[in-house]
């Protein structure tokens, strides 16, 4: 167990984010907990959302994730929806869907046929994802029209689509609006074929931040529940629920021209270096070197090669003596702008930073 390097996840802040999102509309919230709840821990987050926030449906990416949740929390009073890797065509796995509250999102014709033709799956709710222009997963409108007659008796429990560009500022007639037009056509195709659709959803964080696609049954926030904004300019002012804390392992002064660490990375100026015990085996991001960040009020830059177990922070020479081995530092904190800025500095997105915190970093849960 590591004591001074950990990811502190504050569940009280998660609840505040949840309530803020809820105040935007009357839509029900279907939180996404895929990828270990964006690195925050799928078990603790799922339990908290269900037990403290009255969530009844959670979204994950694979059947394995859903089974993991039910293995760890057999009494969880919620449905898990499997959005991408449902493995629904594998007859050996059909029992899982038939016996547990796990629902596959059917996103291609073969998925729908597997469900319609396998008697073991005769009771599971039909949940369809439509491709409205992202061109990743989803039935085309033509495929939907062909399948519609076969769906008449069972009806569609939940019809959904996913936006490709909702993290851009929305404008009339843009990609997201065109996707909404296509989604409306999908609804009409089913209606005209006499297929009842009970529930719908379209919005992920970028759309929710901009209050777009809120007039469906559900909204599906992922990122914004956990902190960072996804739209520029930043409008979401929720909390970053996690704080990545570590400490300084060692400090030393470098003279201009001194090589540091593996390879030949030479200090360009006289400076002050702090080594921190976070390497690529702790934060799995390969583009960290060169990132600028603030460390306890001092400007720092991640310098030279990031190693498996540690990284170098370089400071102006004047910082020497102001930081020392053992000092705690926050790599990111509960201000959601810190991680958003760090992601830009590391030439990536907050999603990757959060999912990149490996299981070598303990998760510690706080309720406030």
Ligand X SMILES: *Cc1c(COP(=O)(O)O)cnc(C)c1O
CA distance 326 to 348: 29
Least CB distance from residue 35 to ligand X, whole Å? 8
Label the pairing between strands 292-295 and 298-303: antiparallel
The interface mask with ligand X, positions 81-100, x = CB under 6 A, is --x-----------------
Structure tokens belonging to residue 314: 């370089």
Residue count of the chain: 368
Task: Enumerate residues 24-43 that contact ligand X by CB under 6 A.
Answer: 32, 34
- Tokens describing residue 179: 């996707």
Cβ distance to ligand X smaller for residue 127 or 204: 204
Give the nearest distance from C-beta 266 to ligand X in angstroms.
40
- Smallest CA-to-CA distance from 304 within 320, 288, 293, 285 is with 288
User: 259 with 268: CB under 8 angstroms?
Assistant: no
* Whole-number Å distance between alpha carbons of 364 and 307: 25
Burial code (b: 16+ CB inside 10 Å, e: under 16) for 81-100 equals bbbeebbbeeeebbebbeeb
Residue 297 and residue 13: Cα distance in Å, rounded? 24
Whole-number minimum distance, CB 55 to ligand X, in Å?
14
| Residue (45 or 223) nearer to ligand X, CB | 223
- Interaction of residue 158 with ligand X, rule CB under 6 A: no
Is the CB of 210 or the CB of 245 nearer to ligand X? 210
Q: Can you tell me the distance from the alpha carbon of 150 to that of 368, in angstroms, rounded to the nearest whole number?
A: 51
Binders of ligand X among residues 159 to 198 (CB under 6 A) are 162
Minimum CB–partner distance for residue 46 and ligand X (Å): 15
Q: How far is the CB of 268 from ligand X (least distance, A)?
A: 38
**Nearest-angstrom CA–CA distance, 237 and 228:** 8
User: Which CB sits closer to ligand X, 17 or 230?
Assistant: 230
Residue nearest to ligand X (CB): 222
Contact string (CB under 6 A) for ligand X, positions 191-230, x = contact: -------------xxx-------------xxxx------x
Helix (H, G, I), strand (E, B) or coil at 245: strand
Closer to ligand X by Cβ: residue 76 or 223: 223
In the complex, the residues that contact ligand X under the rule CB under 6 A are: 32, 34, 83, 162, 204-206, 220-223, 230
């Amino acid at each position: 167990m590591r004591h001074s390097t950990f990811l502190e996840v504050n569940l009280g802040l998660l609840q505040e984010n949840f309530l803020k999102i809820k105040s935007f509309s009357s839509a029900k919230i279907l939180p996404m907990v895929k990828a270990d709840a964006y690195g925050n821990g799928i078990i603790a987050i799922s339990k908290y959302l269900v037990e403290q926030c009255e969530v009844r449906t959670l979204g994950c990416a694979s059947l394995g994730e859903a089974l993991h949740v039910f293995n760890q929390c057999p009494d969880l009073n919620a449905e898990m929806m499997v959005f991408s890797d449902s493995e629904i065509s594998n007859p050996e796995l059909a029992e899982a869907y038939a016996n547990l509250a796990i629902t596959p999102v059917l996103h291609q014709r073969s998925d729908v046929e597997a469900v319609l033709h396998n008697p073991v799956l005769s009771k599971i709710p039909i949940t369809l994802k439509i491709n409205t222009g992202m061109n990743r997963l989803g039935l085309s409108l033509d495929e939907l029209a062909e399948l519609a007659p076969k769906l008449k008796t069972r009806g569609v429990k939940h019809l959904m689509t996913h936006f490709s560009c909702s993290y851009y500022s929305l404008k009339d007639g843009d990609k997201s609006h065109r996707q909404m037009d296509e989604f409306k056509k999908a609804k009409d195709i089913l209606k005209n074929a006499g297929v009842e659709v009970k529930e719908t959803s379209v919005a992920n964080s970028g759309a929710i931040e901009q209050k777009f696609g809120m007039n469906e049954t559900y909204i599906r926030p992922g990122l914004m529940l956990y902190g960072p904004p996804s739209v520029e300019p930043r409008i979401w002012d929720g909390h970053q629920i996690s704080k990545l804390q570590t400490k300084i392992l060692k400090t030393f002064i470098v003279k201009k021209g001194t090589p540091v660490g593996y390879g030949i990375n030479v200090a360009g100026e006289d400076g002050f270096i702090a080594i921190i015990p976070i390497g690529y085996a702790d934060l799995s991001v390969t583009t960290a070197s060169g990132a600028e960040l603030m460390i306890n009020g001092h400007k720092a830059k991640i310098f030279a090669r990031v190693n498996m177990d540690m990284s170098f922070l370089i400071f102006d020479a004047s910082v020497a003596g102001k930081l020392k081995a053992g000092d705690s530092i926050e790599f990111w904190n509960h201000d959601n702008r810190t991680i958003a800025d760090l992601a830009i500095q590391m030439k990536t997105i907050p999603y990757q930073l959060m999912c990149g915190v490996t299981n070598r970093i303990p998760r510690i849960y706080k309720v406030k």
